[in-house]
A and B are shown apart, each in its own frame.
Chain A
Amino acid sequence: MRKPYSLKILWHGRNRFLPAILAVSFSAVLIAVQSGVLLGTLAVTSRPIDHAAAQIWIGIRDMPSIELGHPIPEAWMFRLQAQPEVEDVEGYLYEFAYWHKPGGGSEHCCIIGARLEGSSMGAVNDLTPQMRTLLTEPGAIVVDATDLDRLGLKHGVGESAEIMGQKVRVVGLVHGFKSIWGPYVFCSMETARRLLTMYGADQYQYILAQCRSSADVPAVVERLQRRYPEMSVLSDRDFSVQTRLYWLTRTRIGVALGLTSILALIVGLVITSQTLYAATAASLREYAVLRALGLPRWRISTLVVSQSFWIGLGGVSASVPAALLLGRFAGFVGAEIQLPIWLLAATIAITMTIALVSGLLALRSLRLVEPANLLR
């Protein structure tokens, strides 16, 4: 197969073009990893929803995110139970509290109280049957393994601390729930009620439901929302997305990461564009001969833009494995970088676009191509 002229030019001048390829690669890695960090961080905010079996979440009106709920009356359960498609209904507590470390000092924590039986809709599926059995004991809790230090604990299991003045004891550890605002504390509904005394016996923060068929969920949600405007009724998927979007848009969590990515893109754009400009400017006489021979200007422009395409391709080819490796490394040190296929595809698309724009910017050097200049 014949190699395109643009690829031959790039290979022959690889030393000249290497900085551009590295700049593009650096941009792509930074975009992918920054976005991956953002996705990983946002995913933790909605993980209690994503790892629970509930299909419908009911809370106070206009709740923007899972941690911004308010106590709601238990009586709302009847509204769900009255729906023919609904199979099961249960309450759910999610509230912030003070954690008093065994060695002194305190920390915010987030208590999640749910029913623990096998059919529970609120308990996250990371809680093993053994943990769920242990959690039935009063004061028993499970925390994330990476939060132990923050909670003032050494080994976790078997250690005790206090929440709101009540003694709690760690009976198990989960992974992947390292919260950004305060460690998650998983417990039974009974333990949660004992710790969260501000909740009345007939109050929950959320009411969860499951339908006999998941296909019925949208209709039930729509019907309940229309009939009871004082409630927020959301499918688990919508609630999860809404929670993540809240953290993305209402906080500055995405702004800093976004700005860094834009900066990386600009660096890639400038370096690639200038490299191509210089390379093209160095070949003006060769291009001028082609113009003298009547070869159309667009052919020469395509030759330059094609070089930017190969630079982009070289850059992203190096960046994807690098980003995946960084993601793997981050996992080892307890951070979470999510790199789904769509994110990698979007990164490749953005980076290739930037590379091609660089090529288009470099075309300004072709204005200097003038066949008459070849006459001496």
Chain B
Amino acid sequence: MIDANVTLEGRDLTRSFGDGDTRSVVVHDVSLEFCAGEMSLLLGPSGSGKTTLLGMLSGLLQPDEGQVVVLGQDLWHMSERERELFRLHHCGFIFQGANLMPALTARDHLEMVLRWGERLPWSEVNRRVTDMLGLLGLSRKGHLLPEHLSGGEKQRVAIGRALIKQPRLFFADEPTSALDWEHGKHVVELLRETAHGGATVVMVTHDPRILNYADRIYRLEDGRLLGADAPTESAVLGAP
């Protein structure tokens, strides 16, 4: 049965790196789906292929085999330009580091996405940036450069930069790995709110503290999908 809320689906995805004797299959024949309104986790030990899988699902890394259907479209049958526009209109990303430009303020980073991506007028940009800074708890820090923000604040700016264009799909690669739990928790709560607001959130993590916030958990090992679990402690540990 097809879930009407499914927005993202990976079918028989395989990806390898290297050639000949050095060829290594990182993701092997993985099929999975994600729904709007849910925060899903891709869990697995180091080298399990979860980040590679995220790359294929998000349009950043082309699969060797398989198909990614997103919002009813075959992602890897699009031209590069079409995929770029798809990401612009529908996808938000955050990565392990905040990757903020040292010369630009928190506000600049949010503005840039709306000005350069959405080409919105300044009045609209100002309104949405001010709202987003408020949502991030950074209302008083919009004028600060990254060097004057804490690690958690930087990551929140990175999330704001991805959220401000109101994407339907949100991909996060270990977004809390560089943060202490106090700041990490705030980031996870933000992502869960985003999901429960109607977006599809896919997060790669190995942080067990995040599990109780997830709506769906996919466990991977050696490039293969072990199964989908409910968010329980046992799922994290892989215990019987």
Contact = CB atoms under 8 A, between A and B. Distances in A.
Nearest to A6: B103
B99 A285 contact: yes
A367 to B, nearest CB: 14
Interface string B91-112: 1110111011111100010001
Contacts of A294: 84-89, 91, 117
Contact of A292 (B60, B100, B108): B60
B175 to A, nearest CB: 12
A9 interface: yes
A285 B93 contact: no
Contact of A374 (B87, B88, B99, B100): B99
B113 interface: yes
Contacts of A5: 101, 103-104, 108, 112
A293 interface: yes
B54 interface: yes
Contact of A293 (B54, B103, B117, B145): B117
B174 interface: yes
A296 interface: yes
A286 B100 contact: yes
B88 A293 contact: yes
Contacts of A291: 84
A interface: dominant SS: helix
B66 interface: no
B162 interface: yes
B108 A295 contact: no
Given A294-B86, A294-B89, A296-B84, A375 B99 contact: no
A376 B117 CA distance: 25
A372 B56 CA distance: 9
A176 to B, nearest CB: 51
Given A295-B113, A296-B84, A375-B61, A8 B173 contact: no
Given A285-B97, A292-B93, A293-B113, A9 B88 contact: no
Interface in B6-37: none
A294 B93 CA distance: 10
B55 interface: yes
A52 interface: no
A375 B51 contact: yes
Contact of B95 (A8, A290, A375): A375
Contacts of A292: 58, 60, 87, 91, 93
Nearest to B177: A376
B116 A9 contact: no
Contacts of A9: 101, 103-104
Interface string A292-304: 1111100100000
A8 B103 contact: yes
A295 B161 CA distance: 12
A88 B87 CA distance: 82
Contacts of A12: 102-103, 145
A299 B84 CA distance: 13
B52 interface: yes
Nearest to B60: A372
Contacts of A13: 102-103
A289 interface: yes
A272 B89 CA distance: 36
A293 B102 CA distance: 19
Contact of B52 (A283, A295, A299, A375): A375
A301 B135 CA distance: 32
Interface of B: 51-52, 54-55, 58, 60-61, 84-89, 91-93, 95-97, 99-104, 108, 112-113, 116-117, 145, 158, 161-162, 165, 173-174
Given A296-B88, A375-B95, 20 more contacts: A5-B108, A8-B103, A9-B101, A13-B102, A290-B112, A292-B60, A292-B87, A292-B91, A293-B87, A293-B92, A293-B93, A293-B161, A294-B84, A294-B86, A294-B88, A295-B113, A295-B117, A374-B173, A375-B173, A376-B95
17 contacts: A5-B112, A9-B104, A286-B100, A289-B93, A289-B95, A292-B60, A292-B93, A293-B87, A293-B113, A294-B88, A296-B84, A296-B116, A371-B60, A375-B51, A375-B55, A375-B95, A376-B174
